[in-house]
Structure 1
Amino acid sequence: MKDLNFIFLLLALLAEIIGTIGGFGSSVFFVPLGNFYFDFQSVLGLTAIFHLSSNLSKIFLFKKGLDKKLLLSIGVPSVIFVIIGGFLSKILDSTFLEIFLGIFLVGFSLLFLIKRRLIISPTNKNAIIGGSFSGFSAGLLGTGGAIRGLTMASFNLEKSVFIATSAFIDFLIDFSRTFVYYNNGYIHNHDLKYVPFLLVIGVAGSFIGKKILNYIPQNKFRRLSLFFILVIGIITMTKLILT
Structure 2
Amino acid sequence: MLQKVSFLFLVLALIAEIVGTIGGFGSSVFFVPLANFFFDFQTVLGLTALFHVFSNISKIALFRKGLDKKLLLSIGIPSVIFVIIGGVLTQFLDNKILEIVLAVFLIAFSLLFLIKKELVVKPTSKSTFLGGSLSGFTAGLLGTGGAIRGITMAAFNLEKNVFIATSAAIDFAIDFTRTIVYFFNGYIKNDILIYIPFLIIISWVGTYIGKYILQFIPQEKFKQIALGLILFIGIVMFVKIIP
TM-score bin (small chain) = over 0.9
Paired residues for 1:26-65 under 5 Å: 26-65=27-66
Provide the residue aligned with 2:98 in structure 1.
Answer: 97
* 3-state DSSP of counterpart to 1:116: coil
- In the other structure, the counterpart of 1:217 is 218
1-side partners of 2:96 and 2:120: how far apart?
30
1:149 aligns with 2:150: yes
TM-score (norm 2): 0.97
1:136 counterpart residue number: 137
CA–CA separation in structure 1 for the residues paired with 2:50 and 2:136:
16
1:176 aligns with 2:177: yes
Residue 17 (structure 2) aligns with: 16
Q: Is the 2:5–2:195 Cα contact (8 Å) retained in structure 1?
A: yes
Q: For residue 209 of structure 1, what is the amino acid of its counterpart?
A: G
8 Å contact kept, 1:84–1:139: yes
Q: Is the 8 A contact 2:113 2:155 kept in 1?
A: no
Asked whether the equivalents of residues 50 and 202 of structure 1 are also in contact (C-alpha less than 8 Å), the reply is: yes
Q: Distance in 2 between matches of 1:146 and 1:119?
A: 17
Identity %: 67
> How many angstroms does 1:192 deviate by?
1.3
Show CA shifts across 1:64-106 (max 9, x none). 0000110010000000000110000111111100000001111
TM-superposed deviation, 1:2:
6.0
Shift of 1:111: 1.6
Aligned twin of 1:207: 208
Structure 1 residue aligned with 2:71: 70
Kindly report structure 1 stretches of 4+ aligned residues shifted beyond 3 Å: none
Deviation, structure 1 residue 6:
1.1
Contact 1:22-1:228 within 8 A present in 2 as well: yes
Is the contact between residue 88 and residue 140 of structure 1 (CA under 8 Å) also seen in structure 2?
A: yes
Unaligned runs of 5+ in 2: none
Q: Which residue pairs with 2:241 in the alignment?
A: 240
The Cα RMSD (Å) is 1.2
Asked whether the 8 Å contact 1:105–1:230 carries over to 2, the reply is yes
Cα deviation, residue 5, structure 1: 1.4
Using the size of structure 1 for normalisation, the TM-score is: 0.97
Distance 2:186 2:95 in 1: 17
TM-superposed deviation, 1:238 = 2.7
1:112-167 Cα distance to aligned partner (Å, 9 max, x none): 11221123333121001100000000000000001001111122111000000000
